[in-house]
Every structure is written in C-alpha cells, then in structure tokens.
Amino acid sequence: MSSKRRWTKSTIIFGGIAIWGLILVGCVMVDRTVVAPPNVAGATYVGSKKCADCHEDQTAHFKGATHANLALKDDKGTDIGCEACHGAGSVHVKAGGGKGTIVNPNKSPETCFTCHLDKRGEFSLPNAHPVLAGKVTCGDCHNPHEGKVIQRTGAELETPNETCTKCHTSQKGPFLFPHQAMQEGCTICHNPHGSVNQKMLVARDANLCLRCHLEHPSTVAGGVVGDGKISAGGEDHRTRLQGGTCWVAGCHEDVHGSNASKAMRY
Amino acid sequence: MNLNTLTSLRNVTLFACLALGLAHGAETKSQTEAFPVFDSYIKITGLAPSISGSDSSAARRTQVPTNGTYGVEAIHYAKEIDKDTNIEFDGRALSGSEDYLGVFKANKNDVGTFEIGYKRFRTFYDGIGGFFPSNNRWMQLDNPELHTDRAKFWIGAKIERPNAPKFEFRYTNEQRTGRKDTTIWGDTDFTGIPAYYGVGAAAKNPPYSTARKIVPAYIKLDERQQNWLGSVKHTVGNTELEFELQHNIAKSGDRRIVNRYPGELQLFPRQSASTNPAKIYPPETIANAVSGYDQQNFDSKITSYTFKFETKFTETVSVYGGLLYSDGSADIGGDRQMTQYMPISGGRFVTAIGGFVGASGRPPYSYTTLSGETNEKVLAENLGFKFQPKADFYSTIAIKHEQTDVDGFNQVQYISNSINQTTGVITPVIGVAANSADRTEKSWIPEVTFRYTGIKSLSIYGNADYRHSPGTEYGSSAGAGVGGIIGAPVVSDDNVKLNHGHFKVGAAWTVNQMISLRGEIFYKDHTNGFYDRTTVGDGYVLGYQFFGEKLTAIVKPLTTLTFTTRLIRQTGKMDTTVDSGTNFQSNDTKNYNIGETVDWSPTPQMFVQANVNVVFNTVKTAYPVAGGLGNEVLRNADNNYVNGSFITGFVVDKDTDASLQYTYYRADNYKVPSPASVFYGAGVKEYTVTASVKHKFNDRLIGECKIGYIDSKNDTTGGNTNFRGPLAYVSLAYAL
C-alpha cells in the first residue's frame, strides 16, 4: 500500500508552527534588531528644532503645510512633526547626517502608507502609477513641506493640472477644443493613485462620461423617463453604446481635447 | 482521520518540535550589529520570471520583462574632497528592463551645488482588446508586448552663499517614446450575433447591433519636453523675495494606430433586400475594413514669470503674495489617414485613403491640418495674510485672481472618395474646413484656513475656498459630413459661469500614548454653467456635490503592537440641465474605503506587518432609470475590490535576515453580461508569495535572494490574460 502525500489542513497548521519555531530559533540566538519599514533601528526622537539646524529649506515654511495640521508631539510635548515621517532622528543626528540613518520618503512610499492605508491599496492595483516599483515617488506630485499637499489648489498661484502635465506632455495642450472636464482637473476621470480599471479610470464604461453628460430623455424628441433612451448631447446614444464606451474608434476618440472636432470625434 | 492526515501530522509535529527544541536549547545570544550601510557600493542583480500563460500581461503587472532583467541595480560612490566639499555618484544599468541612471552631484558648503544626470526606465503594457462572451471572442494585437521608454536628462546648479541671493539654474529634457495600449478600441462584427438581410430580417434580427468595439489599438508615442528654469531667492530685512523664469518647449506627435472591422469586406453586389426569406449574413461581410492612424501634433513654447514675496511684519502677522504671467503659443497639427477597403465588381476590392462615401454616408474622417495655432496667456495674482496671534492659533486669508485668454484657429483639409463599384473608378472628394476658438476666464478665488491647538493634545483645522469664474467661450467647428462634403460650421457662443466651493474641517487628537484619532469632513460643490449668448434660455448647466469623511485611528495597546484603521466615505451626486429643461440627476456615486494595518514586533528580532483594504465603489448614471433596452446596454459601474498583504521579517542568525510576504487582490465586478453591450467590470483574482533571505558574507559583501510566485486570473478578459509562475531575484552588494 502506498500513501500519496497531500497538503491537508493539519499540514498547513502544524507546518506553520514549525516555521514559527524556526523563526524563534533565530530570534533567541541573536539580539540584532529588524524593524518594519519605515523605522530606524535604535533611534529616538530629537524634535523638529534639531532638524531645522541643517534642513532650513524644508522646515522654514512647514507651518503652512497641510501636514502641520497634525501638530504631532511626543509624550514630553516636543514637536516631532519631521520625525513623524522621517523616523526618529537621533541616529541621524549622531552620525552627522547620511544615508541609512533616516527615513527618506522620497525613496520609498512606506512612510506615507503608515497613515494613508488606502493609498497603499490603490498603488497595489494593476492600474497605478509605478510608485511601488520606485519609478515615481509621492513627492513627485505632493510637497509635504510647504503649502497644500494637493498642490496648486485654492488661492495658490499655479493651476492644478500642471502636476499631471509636467509628465503627460500630450495632454498639456492648449487644444483648440479642450474637453471641459479638464477644467475640473484630471482627477475627475482618473484616480492617479490607482484603479481597478485600465488607464486608472474611475469608471471603465460609459458611466464615466454620463456622469456629466446624461440628460433628461426629453432632450430627445418625444423622450420620457424610462423609455430606454440614454440621452446625451440631445441625441439618444443607446444604440451607439451597445458597441462599447463613448471613447471608442469612430466615436469621441480625442477625450482630452481636439484640434479639429468640437465634439472630439477625432 | 485518514492515514494521509496522520502521516502529515506526524511529520510536521516532529519538525515543529525539533525547531522549538533548538530554540529552547540556544543558551547564548551572539552580539552582532545590524546590516551595515555602505558609504559606497555596487549592487549587482538578476531577476528572472518563468511565466505560464500571458507573457505580456505578466510583464505589465509585474513590470518585469518576459526574459528577465539583470545588471547593476545600484552603484553609489561618495567622497569627501575636503571638509567643505563632497561629491556623489549614483548609477544603475539594468538590461532587459532598460532601466538606467547616472547622477553626479557636487556640493561645497556655503557655495552651492552642481548636479548632472540622466535616467531612463521602461514601462510595460499589454496590447489587448476586449472579450465578448457570446462567442468567446477575444482580440489582442499580434504582438501584445508593448513598452514605452521615459528618459530624462538634467543639469542644474545652485549658488547658495551666506547672506547673499540664492540662485538656481536647471535644464531638463524629457522624452517618452515607444508603444502603449489604449482603450480606444475598434469595431468588429465577429461577435456571434446573427445579422439577417432580406424580407423579414427585422423579425429575425435581435434588438441590438452586431458590432462591438473590442479590437485592440495602440499609441506610438513621440513626446519631448524641455524646460529651462532660472530663479533667485533673497531675504531683505523681513521680506523673502523669489523670482522665477521658466521657458518650456513641448512637442508631441503621438500617433494612435486604429483598426476597424478587420477581416471584413461587404458583398458586392449586396443581396437584394427583397430576398425571401431573409438570409443570415456571415460576419466577415457586414462592414468594410478601415485601418490607419490618428495623430495630433503640438509644438508649444511657453514662457512664464513668477514673482513671490513674504514679509513678516511682526511675530504674529505676515503678508505674502505673488504674480504669475505666462505667455504660450503652439503650432497645432493633425494628421488622420484612414484607409478603407471597398469591394467592386468581379470579386475584387480597392482601397483608398480617406475611405468611401455614398450619398448618405459619412467618411471615416481623414484629414491633414494645413495650418493652425493656439495662444494662451495667463495672468494670476494672489495676496494673503498669515496670522498667529497666539502660539496655538494659526490662520491664513488669501485671495487669488486669474485671467486666462486662449484663442486659436486652424484649417483642415478633409479627403474622402466616391466610387463607382461597378467600374471601380474612384473620385476624390476634398474640402477645406476652418475651425476657430476663443475662451476667456476671469477667476476670483478667496481662501481661508485655520488651525487651533489650544486644547491639549488636540489640533482642529479647517479650510474653505470658493472659485467664482465668469468668462466667455466661443467655438466654430466644421468637418466633413454626408458625402464627404464640408458641412456648415457648428458654432457655440456661451457665457460661462463656474462656481466651485471646497470646504474641509478636521481634527487630530492624541488621546494618550495608546490612542490617536484623526477625522476630517469635506464638501465640494461645483456648478458649471454654459449659457448661450445668442438664444436666451439655451445652455447647459452641470452641478455636483460631493460629501465625505476620513477617519483614522491609531491604537498602540503595546509599544510593540500598533493597529491603524482608516475609513473613507464619499458620496456624490451630479445633475444636468439642458436649455430651460428639467433638471436631471446624472450621477450618484458612493465610495467606501476601509483600511487596516497591523504592525507587530513580538521581539526586537522580528516584525509582522499586515494590511488590508476593502473598497465598495459604485458609479450610477443611466441604470436603472433608462428603462427598457437601455438597462441592458449599461449597468452601474462597480469598482469594488479587496487587497492586502502580510509580511514578516526576522533575524535568522547573526549574519542573516529573512522575510516572507503574501499579497492578495480580488475584484469581483464582472457580472453576467448582456449580449446588448460590452461589460468592463474588473474581475480579477491574484496572489503572490515571496520568500527572501539577506545574508552578510563579510563586512563588505551582502547577498539577497528572493523567490516569488504569482498567480493572476482575469474574468474580464475571459481568462485570456491569466498567468502564473515563479520569479527569482538575486543580488550582491559590495562595499567599494
């Protein structure tokens, strides 16, 4: 009689215990410390004033930054605003600066993810800016040291879309006939952190466009609510939408703007 | 309990006991240091996947090319020339992923810095189209492995002398080339939906069309952007001054390659409409194939001048402001060349750029721009005050004014063809159309912010801004219409009123050393009104309101254990009003995001980190209010998903660390589709497992090895982009 080896629930449970035991072997044999990113092994807080000694450019205008709203202090009341993101600074100060002694969120998003859990989830999706791959950093779009973290909004001088068009050249324009949605900002259609949908779209189908373009059916002659019409631009688009989205070939292809067609057909 | 279970149980129990026994038997701890951080080093890497299934989708998801990547992952060299001067070099050269970097920096205290660098990396895409389940039709490019290369060269210097103006000069040159996918898919009639022609066809044809737009397309990128920047900053007394001059040249000639109705050619002569009974048409005879490209060209030059100041009047009051002026113009060009196939007598066919038009047909829009330009001028000013009357109260009041003027024109030459299908004689139909546009906008944006920290361990803050933006918008657009003839221009001439309000209030409360709570409420209210200047009452008004909350709780029951919970809820509604008609709700969006992260360090030699995100997101527009067949064409867009990861890292011995990682992603939005539409909801199930070991061979050499496995299943593509397989990574870092 031969018994074929199989993975069973017991195998997994007791196998897990075995692995755990191996881990403990290591843990009791050495006292070296490993820490989950983005911490600095063996470091303690020194306070933001200490950081300003060398990093004046980064600290001078932090008072007006969005993240200053957190007003983080340690249990002795020391302002630890800088170290909340960069990790405890004592090792860095003692070493006189240098790599490996402080957390640099511009190299890894782990710091940002400690609070922005949702962004970790979004950047892990199949359609996302390559932040986890290290090709893009949070700091490429956000400045945590000064002003609003969502840059160029409100009464700030620059316009919001510059954050995107500094890399996305072909969307920069100006187009002869721009898509009005561009005035709402790129994020009205795209989630720049990541989406389940291709092109980081907030919706993959015609719902994306109909949010702003769905009209009362009466804009089509004889139309009434519930008659099966999908009215947009004064026309019933139901038949056309059978084919796919609004921005497929032969329909409204130039979604960011066009230089030849006001309806962005081409 | 069967024999197999007993055998397994015995084996693993023995194994576990052995491991635990070893742990218990370890009496002495060896003192050792953490892995050294090398001042200068070189790290050599190899990464190889062994994927089964869709190679291109695996490359897109993992951003690892099919044949792997290898080379120098990092080289870092740092040297102190003297006590005030140091230099640094960072480099990378990975073949396969074509990831390159070279940066040289020099810094001299109280003098300044110099930097020159080049970097380039490759992004992978898959050239897939859509999946139509009725006949399992799946479309992808012949070679679906697409990629783009993004490159950047820069050179810059800063002069930072003590008590002197600080100067910065920087030049960047960025390029993006290659091919990437697009969702602007083409049409096909190979959908398994029958098409009858002849007497009685109406009774036999299903109540929806045969064509679905699932044919893949791609974009050939050709983008370049150069930027020259010069700035000076200086503090005079209590005033910080900053002036910046930028000149930007951007060129884009992206070309989208389009295929419509590939493999289709209509019958000639067509079957008579009086054929009785109606006969079913083979899908390859329903339409005529069209292929070609659509290209929009830009060659823009923008010069901008920015001046900013901030004067600290007292310890409690500062005033700040600025002025920005930019002047840009662009040569615009378009080039769209579509070749259509057309059957003629004798079982032959002909092709022509511009396609063919009949008395009632519209062309596939082939055109060339003869001339065209756009101009944009922006003048923005802002002025604000910062108040800090008490150490625990900080507030700003600011206002911005912005005037934007954009105008442009072009002349476009359209081409199409009329054809005598009996003789095959083609007669070009050529027409020139003029387009023009003019837009002005004058915005006023007041903004108020505050922060109060007067209550112990509590910070309360808020922000409100309101953009009131009246303007005008004129556009005149003409193009080829029926018969390829240039139609009368479509003219719009509107008064525009944009009113955008944003409001936010939040608090951060450190309850005690164990608990921190943060909350924020936000509200966004936009109205975009376009009112026809020539016909009173005509126009289009879009309104929307979004409301939401963000809540974060950080709980540390132990110094080694942290729970972080984040909840985000956002709901929004939009409505449209056309002319003087009825206001109609066009959108109802709901989003709930629940995130949890657990950080645990049971011992200093081990950490565990687990996180999960659960998202419920739905965008509702026409469904179910459309009714009838409208509800079969479009359903709500659900974007729900769950993803998470678990990682544990631990010390194995004095020279070795190890970690185990598991990730999971599930989106289940691909519902049973209707044959009346194309359904796009993401339906993916994916997991990865990775084990890694990092070992210090000696004080100058560190090695790392990772073995991973990924399994991805995609319902939305009918399983055609599924892939699975191991990936192996090895690296050696050597101190220089």
Q: Could you report the per-residue pLDDT of A222-262, keeping only the tens digit for each?
A: 999 999 999 999 999 999 999 999 999 999 999 999 999 99
pLDDT for residue A24 is more than 60: no
- Residues above pLDDT 90, as percent of chain B: 88
Given a cut of 50, whether residue B1 has pLDDT beyond it is no
pLDDT in tens, A197-210: 999 999 999 999 99
Task: Report the pLDDT value the prediction gives residue B275, as an integer from 0 to 100.
Answer: 87
Q: Which residues contact B96 (CB under 8 A, 6 or more apart)?
A: B65, B67, B68, B69, B70, B71
Question: Rounded to an integer, what distance in angstroms lies between the CA atom of residue B652 and that of residue B660?
Answer: 12
Could you tell me what percent of chain B has a pLDDT over 70?
95
B338/B413 Cα distance (integer angstroms): 14
Distance CA B250, CA B240 (A): 32
pLDDT digits (tens, 9 = 90+) for A79-113: 878 888 898 888 888 888 877 788 888 888 999 99
Q: pLDDT confidence of A49, banded at 50, 70, 90?
A: confident
Question: How far apart (Å, rounded) are the C-alpha atoms in residues A113 and A135?
Answer: 17
For residues B355-366, give the mean pLDDT.
82
Mean pLDDT of chain B: 92
Q: Which of A11, A23, A193 to mutate to test the interface with B (most CBs of B within 10 A)?
A: A23
Tell me the sheet residues that pair with B420. Answer: B425
A145 inside domain: no
For residue A203, what are its two tokens?
């919706």
User: If you average pLDDT over residues B301-312, what whole number do you get?
Assistant: 96
Helix (H/G/I), strand (E/B), else coil: A49: helix
DSSP alpha helices (H): ranges in B153-226? 201-204
Question: Which whole number is the average pLDDT over B676-702?
Answer: 95
Q: Which helix (H) or strand (E) holds A118?
A: helix A117-123
Of the candidates A36, A46, A189, A42, which has an alpha carbon nearest to the alpha carbon of residue A113? A36
Handedness of CA A37, A43, A45, A50 (dihedral sign): negative
The answer, yes or no, to whether residue B268 has pLDDT greater than 70, is: yes
* Cross-strand bridge partners of residue B540: B530, B578
- What is the model's pLDDT at position A22? 56
> What pLDDT does residue A139 have?
92
Percentage of chain A with pLDDT > 70? 85
Name the minimum distance, in Å, from the CA of B277 to any CA of chain A. 26
CA distance B630 to chain A (A): 4
Q: Is A224 on the interface with B (CB under 8 A)?
A: no
Is there a contact between A21 and B657 if contact means CB atoms under 8 Å apart?
no
Whether residue A105 is contained in a domain is answered as no
Query: Which of the four pLDDT bands, split at 50, 70 and 90, describes residue B8?
Result: very low
Q: What whole-number distance in Å separates Cα of residue A60 and Cα of residue B141?
A: 53
Q: What is the pLDDT of residue A1?
A: 41
Distance CA B325, CA B381 (A): 9
Q: How far is B345 from chain A (nearest CA, A)?
A: 28
CA–CA min distance A87, chain B (Å): 15
C-alpha gyration radius of chain B:
32
pLDDT category at B24 given cuts 50, 70, 90 is very low
The minimal CB distance from B15 to the residues A18, A41, A202 is found for A18
- Residue B2 predicted with pLDDT over 80: no
Q: What is the distance between the alpha carbons of residues A130 and A141, in angstroms, rounded to a whole number?
A: 13
Alpha helices (H) along B496-554: none
Confidence of residue B376 (pLDDT cuts 50, 70, 90): very high
CA atoms within 13 A on the CB side of B129: 30
User: Hey, which residues 129-168 in chain A have their CB within 8 Å of chain B?
Assistant: 130, 133, 135, 153-159, 166-167
Contact B605 A242 (CB under 8 A): no
What's residue A21's pLDDT?
59
Percent of chain A with pLDDT over 90: 42
pLDDT of B7 > 80? The answer is: no
> Rounded to 10 degrees, what is the CA torsion of B674, B678, B682, B686?
90
- Residue A246 CA to residue A254 CA, distance in Å, equals 11
The model's pTM: 0.91
**Which chain B residues touch A247 with a CB distance below 8 Å?**
183-184
pLDDT digits (tens, 9 = 90+) for B586-644: 999 999 999 999 999 999 889 999 999 999 999 999 999 999 999 999 999 999 999 99
pLDDT for position B26: 39
A162 part of a folded domain: no
Q: What range defines the domain where residue A214 resides?
A: 173-258
Band (B18; pLDDT cuts 50, 70, 90) = very low
pLDDT at position B283: 95
Burial of A96 per CB tally in 10 Å (0-12, 13-18, 19+): exposed
The alpha carbon of residue A141 is apart from the nearest alpha carbon of chain B, in Å, by 17
Q: Which of residues 223-242 of B touch A (CB under 8 A)?
A: 223-225
Q: Which residues contact B237 (CB under 8 A, 6 or more apart)?
A: none
Q: What's the number of CA atoms in the CB half-sphere (13 Å) around residue B423?
A: 6
Whether residue B11 is predicted with pLDDT greater than 60 in this model: the reply is no
For B16, the closest of A7, A21, A244 (CB atoms) is A21
| Residue A10 CB contacts under 8 Å (≥ 6 apart), including other chains | B5, B8, B9, B12
Distance CA B273, CA B296 (A): 41
Using pLDDT thresholds of 50, 70 and 90, give the confidence band for residue A182.
confident
Using a CB-CB cut-off of 8 Å, the residues of chain A touching B324 are: 157-158
Across the interface, whether the CB atoms of B260 and A250 are under 8 A apart is answered: yes
- Give the amino acid at A31: D
Half-sphere exposure of B248 (CA within 13 A, CB side): 23
Confidence label for B379 from pLDDT (cuts 50, 70 and 90): very high
pLDDT band at B5 (very low <50, low <70, confident <90, very high): very low
Say how many domains are in chain A. 1
Contact A170 B254 (CB under 8 A): yes
* Coil vs helix vs strand at A66: helix
pLDDT at A15: 63
Which residues of A fall within a CB distance of 8 Å from B657? 34
A219 touches chain B (CB under 8 A): yes
Q: How far is A174 from chain B (nearest CA, A)?
A: 7
Q: Is B639 on the interface with A (CB under 8 A)?
A: yes
DSSP 8-class letter at B36: P
Spell out the residues 6+ positions from residue A23 whose beta carbon is closer than 8 angstroms to its own. Answer: B606, B648, B650
Cα angle value B452/B455/B458 (rounded, 5°): 75
Compute the C-alpha angle B202/B205/B210, nearest 5°: 130
Give me the helix-helix angle, B3-25 and A9-29, nearest 10°: 10
Question: B143-202: per-residue pLDDT in tens?
Answer: 999 999 999 999 999 999 999 999 999 999 999 999 999 999 999 999 999 999 999 999
The residue in chain A having the minimum alpha-carbon distance to the alpha carbon of residue B656 is A26
| Cβ-nearest to B627 among A28, A117, A227 | A227
Q: Which of A27, A121, A230 sits opposite B605 (nearest CB)?
A: A27
CB-CB neighbours of A41 under 10 Å: 17
Out of A217, A218, A244, the one facing B678 most closely (by C-beta) is: A244
Q: What is the DSSP letter of B31?
A: P
Which of B:678-697 have CB within 8 Å of A?
A: 678-682, 684, 686
Q: Which helix (H) or strand (E) holds B7?
A: helix B3-25
Q: Contact B443/B469 with Cβ under 8 angstroms? A: yes
Please compute the mean of the pLDDT values over residues B510-524 and round it to a whole number.
95
Contact A259 B333 (CB under 8 A): yes
**Would you say how long chain B is, in residues?**
736
- Residue A216 falls within a domain, yes or no? yes
Whether B573 contacts chain A with CB within 8 A? no
Check pLDDT > 60 for residue B137.
yes
Q: Which pLDDT does position A101 carry in this prediction?
A: 84
Does residue A2 register a pLDDT over 50? no
> CA-CA distance, B617 to A207, in Å (whole number)?
13
Whose tokens are 């608990």? That residue is: B515
For the ranges A55-59, B225-229, B690-694, which has the lowest average pLDDT?
A: A55-59
The kind and range of the H/E element at B710 are strand B701-714
Nearest to B44 by CA among B706, B702, B709: B702
Element (H, E) at B662: strand B656-668
Across the interface, do A6 and B400 touch by the CB < 8 Å criterion?
no
Q: Is B479 on the interface with A (CB under 8 A)?
A: yes
| Continuous segment of H or E residues that includes residue B24 | helix B3-25
State residue B278 phi and psi, 5-degree precision.
-60, 140
* Contacting residues for B479 by C-beta, under 8 A, at least 6 apart: A260, A261, A265, B365, B367, B412, B414, B433, B486, B487
Cα–Cα dist B671/B682, whole Å: 9
What's the confidence (pLDDT) of residue A72?
Answer: 78
Structural domain contains residue A204: yes
- CA-nearest residue to A195 within chain B is B639
Tell me which of B22 and B732 has the higher pLDDT: B732
CA distances from B375 to A186, B75, B123 (A): 21, 45, 33
Task: Give the pLDDT mean for B668-680.
Answer: 89
Distances (CA, A) of B632 to A30, A243, B207: 64, 12, 11
Q: What is the ipTM of this complex?
A: 0.92
User: Is B406 near chain A, with CB under 8 Å?
Assistant: yes
Residue of chain A whose Cα is closest to the Cα of B27: A29
Provide the chain A residues 229-248 that lie in CB contact (below 8 A) with chain B. Answer: 229-230, 234, 238-239, 241-245, 247-248
In A25-84, the residues whose Cβ lies within 8 Å of chain B are 25-36, 41-42, 63-64, 68-73, 75
Probe site for chain A from B335, B619, B694 (most A CB atoms < 10 A): B619
Q: Of A110, A129, A120, A106, nearest to A191 (Cα)? A: A129
Question: How far apart, in whole angstroms, are the C-alpha atoms of residue B89 and residue B84?
Answer: 17
The 3 state secondary structure assigned to B495-506 is EEEEEEEEEEEE
Cβ-Cβ contacts under 8 Å, A34 against chain B? 34, 604-607, 649-651, 657
In a domain, A137, yes or no: no
With CA atoms as reference, the chain B residue closest to A243 would be B212
Task: Mark out the alpha helices in B26-75 (DSSP H runs).
Answer: 55-62
Asked if B496 has any chain A CB less than 8 Å from its own CB, the reply is: no
| Chain A CB within 8 Å of residue B371 CB | no
Instruction: For residue B656, count CB atoms less than 10 angstroms from its CB and return exposed for 0-12, middle for 13-18, buried for 19 or more.
Output: middle
CB B615 within 8 A of CB B630: no
Tokens of B650: 């631990």
Would an 8 Å CB–CB cutoff place A253 in contact with chain B?
yes
pLDDT tens, residue by residue, A114-173: 999 999 999 999 999 999 999 999 999 998 898 888 877 889 988 767 889 989 988 988
* Inter-chain residue contact B566 with A41, CB threshold 8 Å: no
Domain-embedded: residue A190: yes
- Give the C-alpha distances (Å, rounded to integers) separating B238 from B168, B310, B397, B398, B681: 22, 8, 20, 20, 58
CB A152 within 8 A of CB B159: no
In the predicted model, is pLDDT for residue A27 greater than 60?
A: no
Dig out the tokens for B229 from the structure. 């920047």
Any domain includes A134? no
Q: Which residue, chain included where needed, has tokens 């962005």?
A: A264
| Cβ of residue B148 closer than 8 Å to a chain A Cβ | no
Q: Which residues contact A222 (CB under 8 A, 6 or more apart)?
A: none
Q: Which two tokens stand for residue B398?
A: 């600011």
Q: Tell me: pLDDT of B451 over 70.
A: yes
Among B residues 240-299, those touching chain A with beta carbons less than 8 Å apart: 250-252, 254, 256, 258, 260, 294, 296, 298
d(CA A126, CA B126): 12
Look at residue B77 in the predicted model and tell me its pLDDT. 95
* Beta strand spans in B453-605 (E): 458-477, 490-510, 515-532, 539-558, 561-578, 584-603
Q: Which residue has the tokens 């008609």?
A: B581
Token code pair at residue B275 = 């054929």
Return the higher-pLDDT residue of A21 and B498: B498
Question: Is B508's CB within 8 Å of A124's CB?
Answer: no
pLDDT at residue B506, as a whole number: 97
Under an 8 A CB cutoff, do B435 and A260 touch? yes
- Length, in residues, of chain A: 266
